[in-house]
């Protein structure tokens, strides 16, 4: 269990797999601002608290991003104002497959993509 007042969580380079991270592991961390999960073996994006401003997921095995990953499904009025930086580069995901996945973000994911 992670402390509720946690503001930064850095688990880069830890060979984390999606099966080893509970789907809602970060959901209750309402003060979490920076979430660094780069250079692991994650196949999916975990649930991200609304408070997160920066999330790094580069160099994992993420293959799919849906409209529920960062946004609120089909709710086109939903905006995620805090999330300013998303890194998904180095994953086998094709971002163009799900263009609606980023409509709630203020900026598009940064990095180099196929």
Quick: pLDDT tens for 22-35: 878 998 999 999 99
**pLDDT for position 90:** 94
Return the SS3 of 96: helix
Model confidence pTM above 0.85: yes
pLDDT tens figures, 65-105: 988 999 987 788 889 999 999 999 999 988 778 888 888 98
**pLDDT for position 57:** 97
CA dist 54 and 42 (Å) reads 17
Tokens 């994006």 belong to 45
Q: Which two tokens stand for residue 47?
A: 């649930």
CA-based nearest residue to 83, from 98, 72, 94: 72
* CATH code at 1-114: 3.80.10.10
**pLDDT for position 97:** 83
Residue 111: is its pLDDT beyond 90?
no
Provide the edge-to-edge strand list for the sheet that holds 8-10. 8-10, 34-36, 54-56, 85-87
2-16, 42-56, 83-97: range with lowest mean pLDDT:
83-97
């Amino acid at each position: 269990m992670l402390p509720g007042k946690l503001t930064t969580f850095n688990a880069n380079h830890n060979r984390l797999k999606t099966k080893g991270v509970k789907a809602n592991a970060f959901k209750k961390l309402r003060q979490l601002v920076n979430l660094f999960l780069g250079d692991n073996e994650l196949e999916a994006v975990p649930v991200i608290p609304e408070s997160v401003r920066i999330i790094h997921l580069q160099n994992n095995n993420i293959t799919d991003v849906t409209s529920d990953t960062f946004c609120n499904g089909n709710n086109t009025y939903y905006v995620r104002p805090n999330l300013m930086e998303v890194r998904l580069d180095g994953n086998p995901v094709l971002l163009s497959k799900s263009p609606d996945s980023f409509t709630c973000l203020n900026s598009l994911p940064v990095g180099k993509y196929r």
